[in-house]
Chain A
Amino acid sequence: MSKTKLIFILVLAVALIATFSIMPGCTTAQAATEKTVAESESGYALYEQLRGYAQANKEWPEKLAADYSLAFTNIMGGIPFCESVWQNVQDQWKFAGGDPNKLYYADNQYDATMGLQNADILLAKKPDVFINFQFDSKVNSIISNKFSAANIPIIAVDVPTPGAPFMGVNNFQVAYMAGEKAIELVEAAGGIDAIDKIILMQMPSGGEVVMLRSEGFYQAFADKYGADKIDPMTIRGDGGAGEAEQANQALTDILSANPDIENAVLTSVNEQTMSGCIAAVQTAGRWDPEKWIVVTQGCDETGQQQLRDGLTDASVAYFPEKYGEYLIPASVALMNGALVPPFLYVENEVITLDNIDEYYPAK
C-alpha cells in the first residue's frame, strides 16, 4: 500500500469518527445510555428530576406537560385539605407548562356514586393521566378497570386504587408519630393510669390502608405499655366517610355508652372528623382541655385553627399544599413513558402550638 493511500485511509477514518461523534443521534444515544445507567441506579430518574423541579416551586426549565392533558377528581371540594391539594395541583401543572384547559376537574363530594359518574365523564375526555382522589377503596377497583381498558394510567391519592401508584401519607407511620406524641402528653399528664379510654375515630370505608391511620396510633401505645394494658382501654368508632357530621354522631354514641369517661386520649383520621368529635364532647358537656389529650392528623386550615384555639394538642401535618409537588412530576413522568415509584409518601411533621408558626405563620 502506498504512503498516499495509507494517509488517505487514515484521514477518512478520522473524518468518519469525527462526523459520527458530532451527529446529534450519537450524542442522544450517549445521553440515553447515561440516562439508562442513571435509571438503573435509582429506577425513577425522570420522576426524581421532575420532583426536583417541582420542589423549587417555580416554572420548570422544560415545558414537559405542554402537549398533554391531565384529569383530577377531588375527594370533596370545599374543605380546606382538598382545596389545598387542588390549588397546588393547578400551580404545579402551570409550572410544568401544562395548559389549564387541559387540566380536567371533577368533585366527588365524598360520594362513591358521584365518584364513578365523574370517572366516566373524565374518561370520555381521554386524559393522558388520571389522578383519582376518591374515598372508597373498593369502588376504585371498577374505576381502575375502566381506565386500564382505555390504557390511561392512574395515580391514587390517599386511598389506594388497584394497579396504580399511591401518593399520600404513609398511614401507619403518621399514625405512629401521632401515637408517640400522644404518649408524650400522657406521660406529662401523669401516665397511662390516669387515662380512662383511648378513642380511635376510624374510617373503615377507606379500606385497610386508611385503617392503618388509626391502628398505627394504637400500635404506638401497645408498644409502649403493652397490648394487655391498652386493649381494654381502646374504643374504635366508625367515623363514616371522613366528614364531621358522621364522626360527631359516632362519638356521641360512644360518650353515651361510656358515661364514666373523664380523661381520654382521642385521635381521628382527619381534621374534619376531629372537629365533629370535639363538638360531640362539648355538646355532651364533658369537654375539659386539661383532661382530653387530642392528637389529630392532616393539619390543614381547620386543623391549624383547632391547634391555635387550644382544641387539639398536636397534629401530624400532611402538607396538602405540597401534594402537587408529587402528583405533577409523577403524572408528567408517566406521560413521558417513564416509571414512577409505587409509593409516593409525603413528608410529615408533628405540629404543636410551639412550632406552628414555623410551618404556618399566623395570617
Chain B
Amino acid sequence: MAETRLQESNKERKKVGISNTLMLFIVLVIMIAFFGITSQIKFGQQFFFSILNIIPMLSNISYIGIIACILTMLLITGEMDFSIGGNIGLTSCLAALLLSKGINGVLVVLICLAVGILMGVFNGFIVTRLGVNSIIATIGTMSIWRGIGYTLSNGESMLAFNPVIDYLGRGTIFKYIPFPIILFIIVIILTYIIMNRSKIGRRIYAIGVNPMASYLSGTNVKGIKFLLFIFCGAAASLGGLILTSLSAVGMPQHGQGLELTVVSAVILGGTALSGGKGQILGTLAGVLILSILYNGLTMLNIMYFYIQIIRGIVLILVVATYEIRQSRALRRV
C-alpha cells in the first residue's frame, strides 16, 4: 500500500518536474533570442552569438555546472553543502603551492582531488555521524577550508602555470570545444543516469521524501548521504582546479560567494531545499539561465547593480511559479 503511494507520488513528482524543466528551457530559449536580437539592434553587430562569446561563456559555466549537478543530488536528500566555495579556494591555493614546488601536474590534480574527497569525508562525518545540521556544519567547514587556503598562500595569489593544469580549464578538443565543457557534459550524463535510471537514484529521492520510511525499508540513509558529501567535495575540488586553470592563478579568494550562485542555480532548476524533489536537467537549465543572464546583460552594458536585481527577480519569479503550480496540482489531487 505504502509502496503504491510512493510510486504514485513519484509519478506526480515526475510529471510536475518534467513540465517545470520544460518551462525553464522555454525561458532559456526566449532569453537567448532576446539577447541575440537586442545585441544586434544596440551595437549593429552580433556579439552575443559569436564564437568569441559562446566558448568562454560555456567554459566559465562548466565548473559551476559540475558542482551544481552533484549538489542537486545532495539537496534532494534534504542536506546542504555550503563549504564548496571554501573548498575551491583551498584547492586553488594547494594546486598553485604544489606546482610552485615543482610537483608533476598529474600528481597535483590527483592530490587536489584526494584532498577534496577528504573534505567531503569530513563534512559527511560531521553531518551523518555526529548529527550536526548540514547547513551549520558546512558553513563552519567553509570558513575552515578558506582559512587553510589563506594560510597556504600567505594571503597572496600565486601563479599556476603547468601544461596539465592549463589543459584542464583552457584545453580544447577538436580545436574549438573546451575541455571543461566535456567534463561538464560527462557529469550531466552520469548524474542524469544515476538519478533517473538507477536504484540509488530512486533511493536518493526516497530519502528526501521521507528519510525514516527509507531507513525502515532498508536503505542505508546515512551511507548514501555520506557518499554524496564525498562526491560534493570531489566536485568542488575539480571546480577549483578548473578555476585555477582558467585564471592561471591560485588564490584563497577563488570561489568566494560561489556557494550562493550554485545553490541559486539548483533552486532555480526546481530542486526543493526541503528535499525529495529536483531534476538534473532542471539544474542544467538553472545554471544556463543565471550564466546567460549575466553574460547577456553585461554584453548590453547593464550596470552590475541592475544585474543583481534582475537575477533576484528571476529567481523569485521562477520559484514562485513552481509553488503556485505545485499547490494547484495538489488541489487537483
Binding site for B on A (CB under 8 A): 77-78, 101-102, 104-107, 109, 111-113, 116-118, 120-121, 123-126, 136, 138-139, 141-142, 204-205, 238, 240-241
A120-B60, A124-B50, A124-B56 known; A112+B157 contact, CB < 8 A:
yes
| B155 beta carbon closer than 8 Å to chain A | yes
Q: CB-CB < 8 A to A136: which residues of B?
A: 157, 249, 251
Instruction: With CB as the reference atom, state the residue of chain A lying closest to B155.
Output: A238
State A117–B304 Cα separation when bound (angstroms): 13
Asked if A121 and B254 make an inter-chain contact with CB atoms under 8 angstroms apart, the answer reads: no
Asked if B157 and A138 make an inter-chain contact with CB atoms under 8 angstroms apart, the answer reads: yes
State A121–B55 Cα separation when bound (angstroms): 10
Asked if A121 and B251 make an inter-chain contact with CB atoms under 8 angstroms apart, the answer reads: no
| B118 beta carbon closer than 8 Å to chain A | no
State A338–B298 Cα separation when bound (angstroms): 30
Asked if B295 and A138 make an inter-chain contact with CB atoms under 8 angstroms apart, the answer reads: no
4 additional contacts (CB under 8 A) given A111-B253, A116-B246: A77-B303, A111-B257, A113-B255, A124-B50
| B248 beta carbon closer than 8 Å to chain A | yes
Asked if A205 and B155 make an inter-chain contact with CB atoms under 8 angstroms apart, the answer reads: yes
Interface hits, B279-331 → A, CB 8 Å: 294-295, 298-299, 301, 303-305
State A139–B305 Cα separation when bound (angstroms): 24
A205-B155, A205-B156 known; A125+B243 contact, CB < 8 A:
no
Instruction: With CB as the reference atom, state the residue of chain A lying closest to B159.
Output: A138
Instruction: With CB as the reference atom, state the residue of chain A lying closest to B54.
Output: A124
Q: CB-CB < 8 A to A117: which residues of B?
A: 56, 60, 294-295
State A123–B294 Cα separation when bound (angstroms): 15
A112-B251, A121-B298, A138-B159 known; A126+B52 contact, CB < 8 A:
yes
State A116–B249 Cα separation when bound (angstroms): 11
State A111–B305 Cα separation when bound (angstroms): 15
| B125 beta carbon closer than 8 Å to chain A | no
Asked if B298 and A138 make an inter-chain contact with CB atoms under 8 angstroms apart, the answer reads: no
| B235 beta carbon closer than 8 Å to chain A | no
A136-B249, A204-B156 known; A125+B298 contact, CB < 8 A:
no
Asked if A113 and B53 make an inter-chain contact with CB atoms under 8 angstroms apart, the answer reads: no
Nearest CB of chain A from residue B92's CB, rounded to whole Å: 10
Instruction: With CB as the reference atom, state the residue of chain B lying closest to A116.
Output: B247
Q: CB-CB < 8 A to A109: which residues of B?
A: 304
Asked if B42 and A121 make an inter-chain contact with CB atoms under 8 angstroms apart, the answer reads: no
State A118–B301 Cα separation when bound (angstroms): 11
Q: CB-CB < 8 A to A204: which residues of B?
A: 154-156
State A116–B242 Cα separation when bound (angstroms): 13
Asked if B253 and A120 make an inter-chain contact with CB atoms under 8 angstroms apart, the answer reads: no
| B43 beta carbon closer than 8 Å to chain A | yes
Asked if B301 and A105 make an inter-chain contact with CB atoms under 8 angstroms apart, the answer reads: yes
A138-B249, A205-B156, A205-B253 known; A121+B304 contact, CB < 8 A:
no
Asked if A104 and B301 make an inter-chain contact with CB atoms under 8 angstroms apart, the answer reads: yes
Asked if A139 and B247 make an inter-chain contact with CB atoms under 8 angstroms apart, the answer reads: yes
Size category of the binding interface on chain B:
35 or more
Asked if B304 and A111 make an inter-chain contact with CB atoms under 8 angstroms apart, the answer reads: no
Nearest CB of chain B from residue A169's CB, rounded to whole Å: 21
Nearest CB of chain B from residue A125's CB, rounded to whole Å: 5
| B167 beta carbon closer than 8 Å to chain A | no
Interface hits, B4-51 → A, CB 8 Å: 42-43, 47, 50
Asked if B254 and A112 make an inter-chain contact with CB atoms under 8 angstroms apart, the answer reads: yes
Nearest CB of chain A from residue B37's CB, rounded to whole Å: 16
In the complex, the 7 A-B pairs of residues with the closest C-beta atoms, listed nearest first:
A124-B53, A120-B56, A107-B304, A124-B52, A142-B248, A138-B249, A238-B155
Q: CB-CB < 8 A to B262: which residues of A?
A: none
Nearest CB of chain B from residue A236's CB, rounded to whole Å: 11
27 residue pairs of the A-B complex, CB under 8 angstroms, read: A77-B304, A78-B304, A101-B42, A104-B301, A106-B298, A107-B303, A109-B304, A111-B253, A112-B157, A112-B254, A113-B247, A113-B255, A113-B258, A116-B246, A116-B247, A117-B56, A117-B60, A124-B50, A138-B158, A139-B248, A139-B251, A141-B159, A142-B249, A204-B154, A204-B156, A205-B157, A205-B251
Nearest CB of chain B from residue A84's CB, rounded to whole Å: 16
Asked if A139 and B56 make an inter-chain contact with CB atoms under 8 angstroms apart, the answer reads: no
State A136–B248 Cα separation when bound (angstroms): 12
Asked if B253 and A241 make an inter-chain contact with CB atoms under 8 angstroms apart, the answer reads: yes
Q: CB-CB < 8 A to B303: which residues of A?
A: 77, 105, 107
State A142–B258 Cα separation when bound (angstroms): 21
Q: CB-CB < 8 A to B143: which residues of A?
A: none
Instruction: With CB as the reference atom, state the residue of chain A lying closest to B258.
Output: A113
| B57 beta carbon closer than 8 Å to chain A | yes
Asked if A121 and B301 make an inter-chain contact with CB atoms under 8 angstroms apart, the answer reads: no
Asked if B50 and A139 make an inter-chain contact with CB atoms under 8 angstroms apart, the answer reads: no
A112-B247, A116-B247, A142-B249 known; A125+B299 contact, CB < 8 A:
yes
State A241–B254 Cα separation when bound (angstroms): 12
| B162 beta carbon closer than 8 Å to chain A | no
State A305–B301 Cα separation when bound (angstroms): 31
State A141–B50 Cα separation when bound (angstroms): 24
Q: CB-CB < 8 A to A112: which residues of B?
A: 157, 247, 249, 251, 253-254
| B256 beta carbon closer than 8 Å to chain A | yes
Which residue of A102, A105, A125, A136 has the most chain B CB atoms within 10 A of its CB atom? A125
Asked if A124 and B251 make an inter-chain contact with CB atoms under 8 angstroms apart, the answer reads: no
Asked if B299 and A121 make an inter-chain contact with CB atoms under 8 angstroms apart, the answer reads: yes
State A102–B253 Cα separation when bound (angstroms): 32
State A141–B249 Cα separation when bound (angstroms): 9
Nearest CB of chain B from residue A148's CB, rounded to whole Å: 14
State A118–B251 Cα separation when bound (angstroms): 18
State A134–B52 Cα separation when bound (angstroms): 21
Asked if B50 and A118 make an inter-chain contact with CB atoms under 8 angstroms apart, the answer reads: no
Instruction: With CB as the reference atom, state the residue of chain A lying closest to B63.
Output: A113
Nearest CB of chain A from residue B299's CB, rounded to whole Å: 6
State A317–B199 Cα separation when bound (angstroms): 66
Interface hits, B220-278 → A, CB 8 Å: 243, 246-249, 251, 253-258
Nearest CB of chain A from residue B85's CB, rounded to whole Å: 11
